[in-house]
Amino acid sequence: MNIIDLRSDTVTHPTPEMREAMARAEVGDDVFGDDPTVNRLQELAAQKMGKEAGLLVCSGTMGNLIGVLAHCQRGEEAIMGDKAHTFLFEQGGVSALGGVFPHTIPNQADGTLKFEDIEGAIRGEDVHFPVSRLVILENTHNRCGGVVLTAEYTRQVAALAHKHNLRLHLDGARIFNASAAQGVNVKELSEPADSITFCLSKALCAPVGSVLCGTQDFIYRARRIRKQLGGGMRQAGVLAAAGIIAIEKMSIRLHEDHTRARRLAEGLAGLKGFSLDFGMPPSNIVFVTMDPFVKSTAKEAADILDREGIKVGVVGEHRFRLVTHYWIDDRAVEKTLAAFSGLSRA
Read off φ and ψ for residue 322, nearest 5 degrees.
Answer: -125, 130
* DSSP helix/strand/coil, 321: strand
Contact call for residue 199 and ligand PLP (CB under 6 A)? yes
Decide whether 107 or 210 has the Cβ nearer to ligand PLP.
Answer: 210
User: Which residues ranging from 121 to 140 are in contact with ligand PLP (CB under 6 A)?
Assistant: 138
Contact call for residue 59 and ligand PLP (CB under 6 A)? yes
Name the minimum Å distance from CB 295 to ligand PLP: 27
Decide whether 37 or 142 has the Cβ nearer to ligand PLP.
Answer: 142
Decide whether 169 or 295 has the Cβ nearer to ligand PLP.
Answer: 169
Decide whether 73 or 91 has the Cβ nearer to ligand PLP.
Answer: 91
Contact call for residue 261 and ligand PLP (CB under 6 A)? no
For residue 13, the 8-state DSSP code is: P
- Which range in 54-62, 100-108, 121-129, 285-293 contacts ligand PLP by CB under 6 A? 54-62
Decide whether 192 or 209 has the Cβ nearer to ligand PLP.
Answer: 209
CB 42 within 8 A of CB 54: yes
Q: Give CA–CA dist 209/311, Å, rounded.
A: 24
Among 54, 60, 111, 313, which residue interacts with ligand PLP (rule: CB under 6 A)?
60
CA separation (Å) from 224 to 70, 218, 231, 237?
9, 10, 10, 19
- Which range in 55-63, 93-101, 212-220, 236-244 contacts ligand PLP by CB under 6 A? 55-63
Q: Helical H runs in the chain?
A: 16-24, 36-49, 60-71, 85-88, 93-96, 115-121, 151-163, 175-182, 186-190, 216-228, 237-248, 254-269, 298-307, 330-345
For residue 32, the 8-state DSSP code is: G
122, 54, 61: which is closest to 86 by C-alpha? 61
Contact call for residue 173 and ligand PLP (CB under 6 A)? yes
State how far Cα 152 lies from the chain centre.
20
- Which range in 15-23, 56-64, 111-119, 181-189 contacts ligand PLP by CB under 6 A? 56-64
- Which range in 59-67, 217-225, 279-287, 317-325 contacts ligand PLP by CB under 6 A? 59-67
Q: Which residues bind ligand PLP (CB under 6 A)?
A: 59-61, 64, 85, 138, 142, 171, 173, 199, 202, 210
